[in-house]
Amino acid sequence: LQAMMQGESVSKPVLQVMNTRAIATGTGPPRYRVLMSDGVNTLSSFMLATQLNPLVEEERLSARCICQVNKFIVNSLKDGRRVVILMDLNVLKTADEVGGNIGNPQPYNEGQGQQRSAAPAANPAPSKPQQQNGNLSVAGPAAPKYHAPSNQFGKASAPSTVKTPGLSQAKVVPIASLNPYQSKWTICARVTQKGQIRTWSNSRGEGKLFSIELVDESGEIRATAFNDQADKFFPLIELNKVYYFTKGNLKTANKQYTAVKNDYEITFTNETSVVPCDDAQHLPAVQYDFVSISDLENMPKDSIVDIIGICKSYEDVTKITVKANNREVSKRNVHLMDTSGKLVTATLWGNEAEQFDGSRQPVIAIKGAKVSDFGGRSLSVLSSSTVVINPDSPEAFKLRGWYEFDSEGQLLECASISDVRGGAGAGANTNWKTLFEAKSENLGQGDKADFFSCVGTIVHLRKENCMYQACPSQDCNKKVIDQQNGLYRCEKCDREFPNFKYRMMLLVTIADCLEYQWVTCFQESAEFILGQNAAFLGELKEKNEQAFEEVFQNANFNTYEFRIRVKLETYNDESRIKATAMDVKPVNYREYGKRLIASIRSNAQLG
Amino acid sequence: MGDIHEVPRPRIAAGHLAQYIGQPVCFVGRVEKIHPTGKFFVLSDGVGKHTTVELSEPLDEEISGIVEVVGRVTNQATIMCMSYVQFREDKSPFDLELYNEALNIIHEFPEYFPFG
């Protein structure tokens, strides 16, 4: 014990537990404080690392038992006291086997470093417990009292060893040992994730912060810097580099915001210092745990995953306004594909969306993306996620090789599990239904419109009244009134025009194997189905009836994929389910075939 | 055997050849090799198994890509080809694995996919 307290390195000391005491921490698991003895001295300033809590809770570690400490750290508190954190220990003999206290240990007084008995402080001969089993009950235990450490150590002068005059002599502690009971610590860790600066403003004021995740051989931990520290450190700290971090606040982690495995997290204070570390070979690099895109379909919504894929295509950045706080935010959808042949859409936000360059189909690795069920399955990049383009990792090279050289890679028409096609309005859930299912599930009868996609064949088109005369202004589609004097009036624009534009409103019946449905197709869908644009059709109707009819006949009995919006609508006191085609596309038979096969198989399972 | 086009000919994969010996079948596969004489060629199916196709007269054109062969299965589990059709892959590639999956289903549920 003496050697331990004086900072000498002791390998695997065997100690007896005299007593354990739980200390409540308010939030989080209790900490256990242990009074230990080496037969010569007792010392109460032992804390059990939380991962060893079960040992006490299951009563394997209890007063009188003997244990061998495999890993411990000595921390110095502000007032010079030392606390030993027990990171890993084995119970050699349980309390009942031991029976009583060994020896006559005296409480250790740190100031009395000189008082050493001949036997070294550590390692009472392991054979002792067996022999003395019978005798122990006789030896009156020294009744080690459970002192508050201040009695013993309050006067101890600041020990000379181990204190850190300069940073270079700082003793580096493992991340796993960090806890709120010590504020002077130094860790050497690699930044595995760096978030963007986020600002907030609420009734209590505003501020900014950014978070990072740090890793070393013992574990990982999250750290956040606010306001001034955020400004100071954001440019300094780089992803994947190793630094010495000294002195920050430890508090219990808010597990809601992070997937990092640590009970605590660090907050930088104005005393915190960050110094680059050169000798970092021993530290693990950014840990990715990649999931293949096809597995995403089985993951529950809101889970956090790491993913890597080729950016097969990407969309332009768009700005949307967040209703909640009326702010404009940039977003961009990128489509990632991996060797499983599946495509997933990932949404990037803010700066990352704006600066994204997907040209030449880079490999993208995302750590900590959130799985959402938007459109099946898609990914959203959080502020705590990291997006790395063309990372320097074996998986990236493998992907690149597969994509470039394996012809499969490029030709692969992937099944998109995010099905973003024709997503009409935010929150549209693409789901494939047969018309029968759509009717039997009563889609559209709720308050909101329902959307679904289906494969259907056109079996009838209504030629009569398939077009109307609409306002020629750019964005106005209101029906104009024919003033009969060569002018047409639009009520919405409150203007009269000498012309109009034809707009289609085509009613078609589509059918699949079990059901049929009337669907209204507006301009784009109708033009697609008929294969002609509205203006031309308008002319045909007036000039060449036969050709006009032919267009409709040719359009009949074609099969397409329809994206349909159904809603209960009330018109003149009558409520009816109305279906509108939001989008009409040629059938992608490959996808359709895959869906059918999957559906057959799952139905077969149901017996 | 001109009547082969009048009879129902089930679609099979290479694995089914043994069960259909002597019967007319329809087989789709990717051309792997053509024998120099032009009288045989080898097709691979969706799972990579190879099948040899024999012709009564040698080929008079180069064939490649996906081919659908209609013919009779011989005792050696090859196909005696009566006619063939090449699939065009300019618009979109033919997914041979998906085709195989579909074949599996057809053979698994003959009650829903009756052959003639």
Which neighbouring-strand residues pair with B72? B24, B80
DSSP A155-191: TPPPPSSS--SSGGGPPB--GGG--TT----EEEEEE
Ramachandran assignment for A529, one of left (phi > 0), alpha (psi -120 to 50 degrees), beta (any other): alpha
Q: Which residues touch A484 (CB under 8 Å, ≥6 apart)?
A: none
With beta carbons less than 8 A apart as the criterion, state whether A46 and A36 touch.
yes
Residue A182 CA to residue A464 CA, distance in Å, equals 82
Residue A216 CA to residue A177 CA, distance in Å, equals 11
Nearest to A309 by CA among A231, A368, A364: A364
What is the mean pLDDT of the segment spanning A435-450? 75
Q: Quick one: A343 exposed, middle or buried, by C-beta within 10 A (0-12, 13-18, 19+)?
A: buried
pLDDT band at A132 (very low <50, low <70, confident <90, very high): very low
Nearest to A454 by CA among A554, A378, A566: A566
pLDDT at A564: 86
**Beta sheet of A488-490, edge-to-edge order:** A481-482, A488-490, A495-497
Q: Distance (Å) from the C-alpha of residue B51 to the closest C-alpha of chain A?
A: 22
Q: Distance (Å) from the C-alpha of residue B107 to the closest C-alpha of chain A?
A: 13
Query: What are the tokens at B85?
Result: 């059709």
Q: Residue A212 CA to chain centroid, in angstroms?
A: 14
Query: What are the tokens at B31?
Result: 């051309």
Nearest to A255 by CA among A265, A269, A247: A265
Please tell me the pTM assigned to this model: 0.42
Flag if B109 and A604 touch (Cβ within 8 Å): yes
Q: Would the pLDDT of A24 be above 80?
A: no
Helix (H) or strand (E) holding A342: strand A342-349
Residue A380 CA to residue A368 CA, distance in Å, equals 9
Torsions phi, psi for A142 (to 5 deg): -70, 10
Instruction: Give the model confidence (pLDDT) of B27-62 as tens digits.
Output: 999 999 888 888 888 999 888 889 999 988 888 888
Taking domain A1-107, whether its CATH number is 1.10.30.50 is answered by no
pLDDT at A361: 76
Q: Residue B61 CA to chain centroid, in angstroms?
A: 18
With beta carbons less than 8 A apart as the criterion, state whether A116 and A144 touch.
no
Instruction: Give the model confidence (pLDDT) of A461-492 as tens digits.
Output: 888 888 888 888 877 888 888 888 888 888 88
Mutate to test the interface with A, among B11, B96, B99, B105 (most CBs of A within 10 A): B105
ipTM for the predicted complex: 0.80
Query: What are the tokens at A482?
Result: 């024919």
Instruction: Give the model confidence (pLDDT) of A143-201 as tens digits.
Output: 333 333 333 333 333 333 333 333 444 577 888 888 888 778 888 888 887 877 888 77
Residue B51 CA to residue B78 CA, distance in Å, equals 6
Q: Would the pLDDT of A276 be above 70?
A: yes
Nearest to A435 by CA among A459, A465, A418: A459
Residue A27 CA to residue A46 CA, distance in Å, equals 21
Flag if B98 and A594 touch (Cβ within 8 Å): yes
What is the mean pLDDT of the segment spanning A375-391? 73
pLDDT at A158: 32
Q: Distance (Å) from the C-alpha of residue B93 to the closest C-alpha of chain A?
A: 7
Q: What is the DSSP letter of A100?
A: S
Flag if A411 and B102 touch (Cβ within 8 Å): no
Query: What are the tokens at A436?
Result: 């029968």
The segment(s) of chain A belonging to CATH 2.40.50.140 are: 1-107, 175-276, 293-405, 435-466+505-594
Region A175-276: CATH code: 2.40.50.140
Multiple choice CATH, B11-105, 3.40.605.10, 3.40.50.450, 3.40.50.2300, 2.40.50.140: 2.40.50.140
User: Which chain A residues are Cβ-neighbours of B93 within 8 angstroms?
Assistant: 411, 413
User: Which chain A residues are Cβ-neighbours of B98 within 8 angstroms?
Assistant: 590, 593-594, 597
Q: Could you tell me how many helices (H) and strands (E) chain A has, helices first?
A: 15, 28
Q: Which CATH class is domain A293-405?
A: mainly beta
The architecture CATH gives domain A435-466+505-594: Beta Barrel (2.40)
With beta carbons less than 8 A apart as the criterion, state whether B2 and B42 touch.
no
Instruction: Give the model confidence (pLDDT) of A508-549 as tens digits.
Output: 998 888 888 888 888 888 888 888 888 888 888 888 888 888
pLDDT at A148: 36
Q: Distance (Å) from the C-alpha of residue A316 to the closest C-alpha of chain B?
A: 26
